Amino acid sequence: MTDPRAAAEAVLAHVDANLEQSLSRLEALLRIPSISTEPAFAAQCRAAAEWLRADLQGEGFEASLRDTEGHPMVVAHDKAAEGPHVLFYGHYDVQPVDPLDLWHTDPFEPVRLVQPDGETHISARGASDDKGQLMTFVEACRAWRAVTGSLPVKVTMLFEGEEEAGSPSLLPFLERTGPELTADIALVSDTDMWDKQTPSIVTMLRGLVGEEIEITCADKDLHSGMFGGAARNPLQLLSEIIASMRNPDGSVALEGFYDDVAELPPEVAEQWKRLPFSDTDFLAGVGLSVPAGETGRTVLEQITSRPTFEVNGMIGGYTGDGFKTVIASKARAKISFRLVSGQDPDKIREAFRAHVRARLPADASVTFHAHGGSPAIAVPADGPFLNKALGALGAEWGREAAIAGSGGSIPIVGAFKRQLGMDTLLIGFAQIDDRIHSPNEKYNLTSFRKGIRSWVRVLAAFAQR
Amino acid sequence: MTDPRAAAEAVLAHVDANLEQSLSRLEALLRIPSISTEPAFAAQCRAAAEWLRADLQGEGFEASLRDTEGHPMVVAHDKAAEGPHVLFYGHYDVQPVDPLDLWHTDPFEPVRLVQPDGETHISARGASDDKGQLMTFVEACRAWRAVTGSLPVKVTMLFEGEEEAGSPSLLPFLERTGPELTADIALVSDTDMWDKQTPSIVTMLRGLVGEEIEITCADKDLHSGMFGGAARNPLQLLSEIIASMRNPDGSVALEGFYDDVAELPPEVAEQWKRLPFSDTDFLAGVGLSVPAGETGRTVLEQITSRPTFEVNGMIGGYTGDGFKTVIASKARAKISFRLVSGQDPDKIREAFRAHVRARLPADASVTFHAHGGSPAIAVPADGPFLNKALGALGAEWGREAAIAGSGGSIPIVGAFKRQLGMDTLLIGFAQIDDRIHSPNEKYNLTSFRKGIRSWVRVLAAFAQR
Give B368-387 as a DSSP string: EEEEEEE--EE--TT-HHHH
Residue ending a domain, choose from A344, A374, A404 = A374
Contact B430, B390 (CB under 8 A): no
CB–CB contact A407 B282 (8 Å): no
How confident is the model at residue A449, as a pLDDT?
98
Q: Report d(CA A337, CA A348) in Å as an integer.
A: 8
DSSP secondary structure of A350-364 = HHHHHHHHHT--TT-
B176 and B136 in a common domain: yes
How confident is the model at residue B262, as a pLDDT?
87
Residue A425 has pLDDT above 90, yes or no: yes
Picking from A88, A60, A63, A61, the residue whose alpha carbon sits closest to that of residue A75 is A63
Picking from A64, A240, A230, the residue whose alpha carbon sits closest to that of residue A159 is A64
B414 and B319 in a common domain: no
B264 vs B457: which has the higher pLDDT? B457
Could you read off the pLDDT of B318-372 as tens digits, one per residue? 999 888 889 999 999 999 999 998 999 999 999 999 999 999 999 999 999 999 8
Domain that holds residue A23: 4-205+376-463
A190 and A163 in a common domain: yes
Could you read off the pLDDT of A25-60 as tens digits, one per residue? 999 999 999 999 999 999 999 999 999 999 999 999
In a domain, A399, yes or no: yes
Q: Report d(CA A215, CA A335) in Å as an integer.
A: 13
Indicate the helix (H) or strand (E) that contains A214.
strand A207-216
In a domain, B199, yes or no: yes
Q: Strand pairing partners for A338?
A: A208, A308
Of A10-14, A281-285, B164-168, which one has max mean pLDDT? A10-14
Cis upstream peptide for B116 (omega within 30°): no
C-alpha separations of B421 from A452, B76, B173, B406 in Å = 86, 20, 15, 20
Specify the CATH number for the domain of residue B391: 3.40.630.10
Within A18-123, residue ranges assigned H as helices are: 19-30, 42-59
Could you read off the pLDDT of A84-100 as tens digits, one per residue? 999 999 999 999 998 89
Q: Which are the contacts of B258, defined by CB distance < 8 A and separation ≥ 6?
A: B251, B252, B307
Residue B226 has pLDDT above 90, yes or no: no
How confident is the model at residue B263, as a pLDDT?
87
Specify the CATH number for the domain of residue B324: 3.30.70.360
What is the pLDDT confidence band of residue A451, given thresholds at 50, 70 and 90? very high
B240 to chain A nearest CA, in Å? 5
B415 to chain A nearest CA, in Å? 18
How confident is the model at residue B200, as a pLDDT?
96
Q: Which are the contacts of A320, defined by CB distance < 8 A and separation ≥ 6?
A: none
Contact B223, B326 (CB under 8 A): yes
How confident is the model at residue B267, as a pLDDT?
86
How confident is the model at residue A225, as a pLDDT?
84
Q: Which are the contacts of B350, defined by CB distance < 8 A and separation ≥ 6?
A: none
Q: Strand pairing partners for A368?
A: A213
Question: How many Cβ atoms are within 10 Å of A345's Cβ, its own excluded?
Answer: 19
CB–CB contact B318 A313 (8 Å): yes
Residue ending a domain, choose from B326, B354, B374 = B374
Query: Between helices A131-148 and A42-59, what is the axis angle to 10°?
Result: 20
How confident is the model at residue B2, as a pLDDT?
60
Q: Report d(CA B37, CA B39) in Å as an integer.
A: 6
Q: Given phi > 0 = left and psi -120 to 50 = alpha, else beta, which region is A342?
A: left
Average pLDDT over residues B108-113: 97
Residue A1 has pLDDT above 60, yes or no: no
ipTM for the complex?
A: 0.86
Q: How many domains does one find in chain A?
A: 2
Q: Strand pairing partners for B77?
A: B62, B156
In a domain, A275, yes or no: no
In a domain, A277, yes or no: no
- pLDDT over 70, % of chain A: 100
Q: Angle at the Cα of A103 (from A102 to A108), degrees rounded to 5?
A: 145
B216 and B108 in a common domain: no
The minimal CB distance from B225 to the residues A206, A222, A227 is found for: A206
Q: Report d(CA A108, CA A300) in Å as an integer.
A: 36
Indicate the helix (H) or strand (E) that contains B348.
helix B345-358
Picking from A135, A201, A166, the residue whose alpha carbon sits closest to that of residue A392 is A201
Average pLDDT over residues B171-187: 96
Residue A407 has pLDDT above 90, yes or no: no
User: For residues A66-80, b (16+ Cβ closer than 10 Å) or e, as one string?
Assistant: bebebbbbbbbbbee
Could you read off the pLDDT of B7-41 as tens digits, one per residue? 999 999 999 999 999 999 999 999 999 999 999 99
Q: Given phi > 0 = left and psi -120 to 50 = alpha, else beta, which region is B260?
A: alpha
Residue B139 has pLDDT above 70, yes or no: yes
A165 and A109 in a common domain: yes
The alpha carbons of chain A give a radius of gyration, in whole angstroms, of: 25
Could you read off the pLDDT of A152-164 as tens digits, one per residue? 999 999 999 999 8
Q: Angle at the Cα of B404 (from B400 to B407), degrees rounded to 5?
A: 160
A218 to chain B nearest CA, in Å? 5
Residue B81 has pLDDT above 60, yes or no: yes
With residues binned 3-state (H G I as helix, E B as strand, rest as coil), the percentages for chain A, rounded to 5, are 40, 25, 40
Residues B393, B399, B404, B408, CA torsion sign: negative
Q: Phi and psi at residue A322, in whole multiples of 5°?
A: 70, -150
How confident is the model at residue A399, as a pLDDT?
94
Q: Report d(CA A419, CA A423) in Å as an integer.
A: 11
Q: Strand pairing partners for A88?
A: A157, A187
* Count of positions (residues) in chain B: 465
CB–CB contact A224 B312 (8 Å): yes
Q: Which amino acid is at A277?
A: F
Q: Angle at the Cα of A146 (from A140 to A147), degrees rounded to 5?
A: 95
CB–CB contact A362 B289 (8 Å): yes
Beta-carbon pairs below 8 A across chains A and B: 285
Least confident of A52-66, A131-145, A418-432, B399-413: B399-413
The minimal CB distance from A316 to the residues B244, B314, B407 is found for: B314
Picking from B236, B220, B180, the residue whose alpha carbon sits closest to that of residue A250 is B236
A213 and A143 in a common domain: no
A344 and A399 in a common domain: no
How confident is the model at residue A404, as a pLDDT?
93
Residue A2 has pLDDT above 70, yes or no: no
Q: Which amino acid is at A204?
A: M
B161 to chain A nearest CA, in Å? 22
Q: Phi and psi at residue B54, in whole multiples of 5°?
A: -65, -40
Residue ending a domain, choose from B324, B352, B374 = B374
Least confident of A287-296, A357-366, A389-398, A411-420: A411-420
How confident is the model at residue A453, as a pLDDT?
98
Residue B5 has pLDDT above 80, yes or no: no
What is the pLDDT confidence band of residue A196, given thresholds at 50, 70 and 90? very high
In a domain, A97, yes or no: yes
Residue B429 has pLDDT above 90, yes or no: yes
How confident is the model at residue A265, as a pLDDT?
87
Contact B48, B32 (CB under 8 A): yes
Which of A279, A323, A368 is the best mutation test for B, with the most CBs of B within 10 A?
Answer: A323
CB–CB contact B292 A336 (8 Å): no
The minimal CB distance from B217 to the residues A242, A288, A371 is found for: A288
B154 and B86 in a common domain: yes
Nearest CA in chain A to B206: A225
A345 and A234 in a common domain: yes
The minimal CB distance from B242 to the residues A210, A236, A286 is found for: A236
A422 and A437 in a common domain: yes
Picking from B461, B465, B300, the residue whose alpha carbon sits closest to that of residue B390 is B461
With residues binned 3-state (H G I as helix, E B as strand, rest as coil), the percentages for chain B, rounded to 5, are 40, 25, 40
In a domain, B273, yes or no: no
How confident is the model at residue A264, as a pLDDT?
87
Q: Report d(CA B168, CA A406) in Å as an integer.
A: 57
Nearest CA in chain A to B207: A225
How confident is the model at residue A318, as a pLDDT?
92
How confident is the model at residue A272, as a pLDDT?
92
Residue A465 has pLDDT above 80, yes or no: no
Q: Given phi > 0 = left and psi -120 to 50 = alpha, else beta, which region is A296?
A: left
In a domain, A291, yes or no: no
Q: Report d(CA B139, CA B23) in Å as an integer.
A: 10
- pLDDT over 90, % of chain A: 85
Q: Report d(CA B113, CA B101) in Å as an integer.
A: 19
Contact B315, A326 (CB under 8 A): no
B351 to chain A nearest CA, in Å? 19
In a domain, A276, yes or no: no
Residue A409 has pLDDT above 80, yes or no: no
A42 and A25 in a common domain: yes
The minimal CB distance from A239 to the residues B225, B242, B292 is found for: B242
| Parallel/antiparallel/unpaired status of strands B200-205 and B442-444 | unpaired
Q: Which are the contacts of A194, defined by CB distance < 8 A and separation ≥ 6?
A: A200, A275, A276, A277, A401, A402, A404
Residues of B in contact with A299 (CB under 8 A): 230
The one-character DSSP state at B309 is: E
A447 and A321 in a common domain: no
C-alpha separations of B454 from B126, B135, B237 in Å = 21, 12, 54
The minimal CB distance from B325 to the residues A290, A299, A312 is found for: A312
Average pLDDT over residues A449-453: 98
Q: Report d(CA A270, CA A381) in Å as an integer.
A: 12
Q: Report d(CA A448, CA A16) in Å as an integer.
A: 11
Q: Which amino acid is at A357?
A: R
